[in-house]
Amino acid sequence: MSKTRNRLRRKGARRRAKDVAREAARNLMIRALRHADLHHVFLGTSCIVGFVLPDASDGDVFVEAGRGLLVSLAGSRPDFDFDILHWDATNPKGRSKPSDSAMRESLASHARVFGFAASADEFPAFFRLAADSIVPLGRVDLAALKGAFYAVLGRAPADTVLAEALDVPLAALGAVIRPGRSPEQAIRRLQRLRAAECNPPDRRPAREHPTLDDLHGLGEAAEWGRALAADLADYRAGRIRWSEVDRGVLVSGPTGTGKTTFARALARTCEVPIHIHSLARWQARGYLNDLLKAMRAAFEAAKAEAPCILFLDELDSFGDREALTGHNEQYCREVVNGLLECLDGVEGREGVVVVGATNLPEKIDAALLRPGRLDRHIRIPLPDPEARAGILRHHLGDALPGADLSEISARLEGASGAVIEQVVRDARRRARAARRELTAEDLLAALPERIRLSDAAHWRACIHEAGHAVVGHLLGGESGQVPFEAKVFREVGPDGTGGETGFARAPGFDRTRASYLAEITMLLAGLAAEEVVLGEHAGGGGGGERSDLHQATVLAAGMETSMGLGEGLVYLTSRRDEDVLAWLRGDPLLRRRVGEALERCSRRAKAILRERRGALEELARALAERGRVNAAEIGAAVGPAPPDGGRSAFARCGERVGNRP
């Protein structure tokens, strides 16, 4: 084998090793071998070792870890041969156990053999006689977990945080902590697992929760909920059949918009119990089999109280089977399949309405959204000024009757319902500390810290959002999405976000290479507008997840690594953001191609904006004066899109749209 091929093999092995579960399992195997005085294994000499698994459901993790350990011991030695035997009592994939003849042949023809079984008794007698030793594997402890974090993420959280994950199954741990995520993201996921384990399902009486009429800013969700309440009343009275009732809905929206509160209010409005669950809560029960048992038990408990609401929080955490890759693919696939079985059920789930909630609807497995499951999708937006005033009034209760809340509502622009509730809670605490009644000044003092933008920074934000609006309007037919509103804030929160432009995507649009490039062009149009009008762009288009640059980079890299829309057709990784970015960080050639694609899209955006500079500045002035513009105003300023979707402006720059690098 050539030196180049050796380097590629080692690079590929390192890439495959980036898995927390497998790294932790490898650490446990090395420790077990050392404790058993089997040091000759590390020297690459002949060996036969049986490992007793701490839990049968983690067998696949240890098998992969054992294979990786033997590969690393082999190095580039061509004479290093080995085999792996696994006596799997659970047979989750329908595999057959190694037969006695296959085992004897393996032991005779390979110098190094690792065997895995759930107990020492499950190893055949011949294997036990031939083995150097049968070694018990311990469960994950702090040292093993810390080593895995360093191997995968480069650093580890504090020991007190790591201690929260010691009882998490290896397979579940690998699904939660993935390459491309920061240790801080991993910490949040571990904390959710611990919280789910420590907190029992919410079973408070429905009367303690508000009704849908008490809530504000829910829009379509409230209308659907009232219609469901009427249908359930008719179903209980026998006037309609269960087949005529909506059996599931997906509710999406930004963090803090009140998806869980909506579910509780829905249950009270319908006058039915609510069962609140999440994947994290079920994962906290233990290994895969325990998780699936907890999932089925949750649905059985809901059916026993039917009619009722079963609420599934963070539905995107289940994953999309089409995007699954790597070691945890089988684990995640079985979890999704288990949920599908519960949603369908051999005996049905009559009387159980399932409400799924997510911040990321695009990451939901398509099978979950088919008819009879969660076949309706409702979005809960951030509250508008009227809704913010209503939310304030709801949480104030009897306090400050008749007070004008318009100023406070205006200063909460862009705030979610959860933020508004926190403002009222902090204001009440301030009044209690002063031993007096709540006042409007307490509310003003409790408002989140806001920074008033300078005239220059505010004008830049107006130019930026106007750029998105102009290019988005002109490329809507090509990208499959059009801007429905652009907003700019004079006062911003600590994150410094000065505005946003909302896009509505056409359902069922044919996504081609050209449409993805058009979407990237729209994402980069804000920065392009700053350059066209102001001469240079600032850093507001990047700096965080879901920023313009983050989304554009992930799309451009995903075209190359996942969708076959780049230079070649090779599938390299899933479309998950963290997987795409992890590959991008490790591949200089990919970074160059992605950078070139982003540059071409940026040049196209600037060419369009130079031609439509009058419309760009007109919309920017409108944003500076009123703070927002709607779809009709955008269309009136920009005019109809040209038949060529703005290609002519780009062509005059000597470029072709959609050309391959």
Cα gap 393→388, rounded to integer Å: 9
Query: 43 with 71: CB under 8 angstroms?
Result: no
Q: What is the 3-state secondary structure (H, E, C) of 356-383?
A: EEECCHHHCCHHHHCCCCCCCEEECCCC
**61 inside domain:** yes
When mean pLDDT is compared over 11-20, 48-57, 200-209, 327-336, the highest value belongs to 48-57
Domain end among 108, 136, 164: 136
Residue with tokens 């920017």: 620
**185 inside domain:** no
Domain end among 448, 480, 501: 448
pLDDT band at 661 (very low <50, low <70, confident <90, very high): very low
Backbone angles phi, psi at 488, to 5 degrees: -135, 140
Is 495 found in the same domain as 391?
no
**pLDDT of res. 228:** 95
**pLDDT of res. 656:** 44
Backbone angles phi, psi at 514, to 5 degrees: -60, -40
Q: What is the mean pLDDT of residues 17-32?
A: 80
104, 286, 297, 304, 578 from 293: Cα distances, Å: 37, 10, 6, 16, 30
Residue 608 confidence (pLDDT) above 90 = yes
Query: 258 with 215: CB under 8 angstroms?
Result: yes
Is 319 found in the same domain as 258?
yes
Residue with tokens 């992605």: 594
Is 349 found in the same domain as 437?
no
Q: What is the 3-state secondary structure (H, E, C) of 52-92?
A: ECCCHHHHHHHHHHHHHHHHHHHCCCCCCCEEEEEECCCCC
Backbone angles phi, psi at 580, to 5 degrees: -65, -45
**pLDDT of res. 8:** 34
φ/ψ bin of 285: left (φ > 0), alpha (ψ from -120 to 50), beta (otherwise): alpha
Residues 6+ apart with CB under 8 A from 291: 169, 172, 282, 283, 285, 335, 338
Backbone angles phi, psi at 483, to 5 degrees: -75, 130
Cα gap 560→554, rounded to integer Å: 10
**56 inside domain:** yes
Query: 71 with 101: CB under 8 angstroms?
Result: no
Residue 317 confidence (pLDDT) above 50 = yes
Is 126 found in the same domain as 243?
no
**pLDDT of res. 17:** 41
Residue type, 145: L
Half-sphere exposure of 395 (CA within 13 A, CB side): 21
pTM summary value: 0.57
Cα gap 473→104, rounded to integer Å: 69
Query: 157 with 186: CB under 8 angstroms?
Result: yes
Residue 465 designated active-site: yes
Residue 657 confidence (pLDDT) above 60 = no
Using one digit for the tens of pLDDT, what is the confidence trace for 60-110? 889 989 998 998 888 777 777 899 999 876 554 444 567 888 888 889 889
pLDDT band at 183 (very low <50, low <70, confident <90, very high): low
Q: What is the mean pLDDT of residues 545-562?
A: 90
Residue of 125, 416, 456, 468 lying closest to 258 (CA atoms): 416
Query: 480 with 515: CB under 8 angstroms?
Result: yes
Q: What is the mean pLDDT of residues 593-621?
A: 95
Q: What is the mean pLDDT of residues 132-149?
A: 81
Containing structural domain, residue 118: 3-136
- 3-state secondary structure at position 152: helix
Q: What is the mean pLDDT of residues 182-206?
A: 57
Is 597 found in the same domain as 514?
yes
The two tokens of residue 21 are: 């579960």
> What does DSSP assign to residue 612?
T
Average model confidence (pLDDT) across the chain = 82
Residue of 484, 525, 505 lying closest to 629 (CA atoms): 484
How would you class 542 by CB atoms within 10 Å of its CB: exposed for 0-12, middle for 13-18, buried for 19 or more?
middle
Is 396 found in the same domain as 308?
no
Q: Are strands 481-488 and 499-505 parallel, antiparallel or unpaired?
A: antiparallel
Using one digit for the tens of pLDDT, what is the confidence trace for 286-315? 667 878 888 998 998 899 888 999 999 989
**245 inside domain:** yes
When mean pLDDT is compared over 171-180, 189-198, 535-544, the highest value belongs to 535-544
Is 628 found in the same domain as 499?
yes
Is 435 found in the same domain as 327?
no
Is 219 found in the same domain as 263?
yes
**60 inside domain:** yes
Q: Which of 130-134, 163-167, 338-342, 352-356 has the lowest mean pLDDT?
A: 163-167
**153 inside domain:** no
Question: Which of 23, 64, 334, 465 does the annotation list as catalytic?
Answer: 465
pLDDT band at 27 (very low <50, low <70, confident <90, very high): confident
Residue of 499, 513, 528 lying closest to 604 (CA atoms): 528
Q: Give percent of the chain above pLDDT 70.
A: 83
Cα gap 524→599, rounded to integer Å: 9
pLDDT band at 549 (very low <50, low <70, confident <90, very high): very high
Cα gap 500→523, rounded to integer Å: 11
> What does DSSP assign to residue 251?
E
Using one digit for the tens of pLDDT, what is the confidence trace for 456-495? 999 999 999 999 999 999 999 999 999 989 989 887 766 6
Is 609 found in the same domain as 511?
yes
Query: 157 with 183: CB under 8 angstroms?
Result: yes
Q: Give percent of the chain above pLDDT 90.
A: 34
**196 inside domain:** no
The residues facing 353 across adjacent strands are: 309
Residue with tokens 């190359």: 560
**364 inside domain:** yes
Is 540 found in the same domain as 420?
no
Using one digit for the tens of pLDDT, what is the confidence trace for 390-449? 888 888 888 888 888 888 888 887 788 888 888 999 999 999 999 999 998 899 888 887
What is the chain's Cα-based Rg?
A: 29
Query: 359 with 255: CB under 8 angstroms?
Result: yes
* Concatenated DSSP letters of 416-458: -HHHHHHHHHHHHHHHHHTTS---HHHHHHHSPP-EEPPHHHH
Query: 149 with 155: CB under 8 angstroms?
Result: yes
Is 415 found in the same domain as 278?
no
pLDDT band at 586 (very low <50, low <70, confident <90, very high): confident
Backbone angles phi, psi at 634, to 5 degrees: -65, -45
94, 137, 175, 235, 608 from 327: Cα distances, Å: 17, 20, 9, 45, 45
Residue 13 confidence (pLDDT) above 50 = no
Cα gap 588→220, rounded to integer Å: 46
Residue with tokens 């979407």: 519
Report the domain count for the chain: 4
Query: 503 with 543: CB under 8 angstroms?
Result: no
The two tokens of residue 85 are: 């035997």
- 3-state secondary structure at position 412: coil
382, 597, 605 from 658: Cα distances, Å: 35, 10, 13
Residue of 405, 346, 345 lying closest to 373 (CA atoms): 345
- 3-state secondary structure at position 135: strand
Domain end among 136, 157, 182: 136
CATH number at residue 323: 3.40.50.300
